[in-house]
Amino acid sequence: MRLFRLIKIFYITFKFGLDEFIFAHNRFSLIRKALQKALFFRNNSQARGVRLRLALEALGPIFVKFGQILSTRRDLIPLDVADELAKLQDQVPAFDYAIVEKVIAETYGEPINKVFSQFDQVPVASASVAQVHFAHLPDGKPVAVKILRPGIASVIQKDIKLLDSVAWLLQTLLSDGDRLRPREVVADFAHHLNNELDLMLEAANCSLLGRNFPNSPMLQVPEVYWDWCREQVMVMERMDGTPISQIDKLRAMGIDIPKLARNGVEIFFTQVFRDGFFHADMHPGNIQVASDGRYIALDFGIMGTLTETDKQYLARNFLAFFKRDYREVALAHVESGWVASDVSVEQFETAIRAVCEPIFNKPLKDISFGRVLIRLFHTARKFGLIIQPQLSMLQKTLLNVEGLGRELDPNLDLWQTAQPVLERWMSEQVGWRSVLKRIKNEAPHWGAILPTLPRKLDAFLTQDISKLSTLDAEVTALKKQNQQQKQMIHVLVALVVGLVIFGAWQLKN
């Protein structure tokens, strides 16, 4: 079975002309020409990115998801290919309701009508890993039920092994295979997919995002009903919203579209810089708008996390970039540890200026944060920067947010919207807010230590006199030894001075 699957992969590869990626180097020119003559009947008039997207769609849902992840690695693949792969849609036919009933019965140990008072047989969404049905809990509460596809884990493992084999071949054949690191990309993809196979992890992601935005006037996150959640089934609050892509319907509802665009940018930057935890799959299919104008977040399988170092690196870069302080951009890379400390800051600054200065020919509102980040990454790679997976996810999500925001409002000024969030975060790191934050974080530790201080002080004051005597004797011995060392140094200095005077006298006579 695996052999037939591998044969199909190679068939699709040659059918859509993807051999141009593999045999692009001059050393394969003879093979390339031979293939062109042997496969003269195929039509390769479409752009390479389009053909790659069509090939992945032909190979099935797991490869579609791989293409989606690959589109985030703009530090490794050409931008025209990344933009095309970003169009991949993870939509597959739903599995039968009879299978749903079987999964529910096996998961809860009871038939579906004992677990839910009502369950819609037709799913509202179906993707490669899971599908979603609307239902009601026994108390009548409306919910959304996400169910893993039966047997999907084994399918994923087989396709991952095949992808890794193909990645090994590419890394061996491609001239810059070591730079592109295809096997590393496949491993990153496998990590994301394995996380999506445990719906308890997704439920935890949803719950944390909800806690970060309690009673938010901008974002609504569904409540998780933990008593009904399992690895294969996730049950959450049913959300009633309009897809973000239906702009005309949103206008008819009286939604302030420019405000909606600004709120989307502010939500994203708040997630990134305040929380270090962000929704990393913010395509239109995962975003709805409530009747009161709040965003509704859906699907929490892919989330990004950032460390304090990551956040400082990004904030310093954005703030310095828009002030055209390229030296600060260079220093931010070095001091954050993203490039080696022995890199010439002056050369790095010059390289950044050459790449970024042309961007300022445009008005600030037309400058893309995502494209700026891509340019910075590409420049920094020449100075030894290795892009971290979390930054790749952030870059892809930022491009999605920008695209969505400007689709809603073409005049959206992302810098004006994001600047207050960035500046407030920076002030919290270095100003008085930073001191208060650290005091607040350390307070629990102080609370544990303070009650024990009297006891520790009493123990110190009443410790054994003999120990103090021993300590006093040791101090006296150290003082004596120190005095002897000083005397020896004086003798040596006197001897050296005497030798110098004697040598001078000898030369004179």
Identify the bridge partners of residue 236 per DSSP, sorted by sequence position: 144, 224
The answer to whether the Cα torsion of 122, 123, 125, 127 is positive or negative is negative
Neighbours of 63 (CB within 10 A): 21
Question: Catalytic site residues?
Answer: 281
DSSP secondary structure of 183-205:
HHHHHHHHHHHHHHT-HHHHHHH
- The dihedral through the CA atoms of 116, 120, 122, 126 has a sign that is negative
CB 241 within 8 A of CB 253: no
Round to whole Å and give the CA distance between 372 and 321: 9
Q: Are strands 295-297 and 219-220 parallel, antiparallel or unpaired?
A: parallel
46 phi, psi to nearest 5 deg? -75, 155
Q: Quickly tell me which residue has 């491009």 as its tokens.
A: 399
Alpha helices in 279-325 (DSSP H): 308-322
Distances (CA, A) of 443 to 13, 371, 434: 60, 42, 14
Give Cα separations from 107 to 97, 101, 149, 229 (angstroms): 15, 10, 13, 10
Residue 289 vs residues 215, 255, 297, 318: alpha-carbon distances, Å: 16, 9, 9, 29
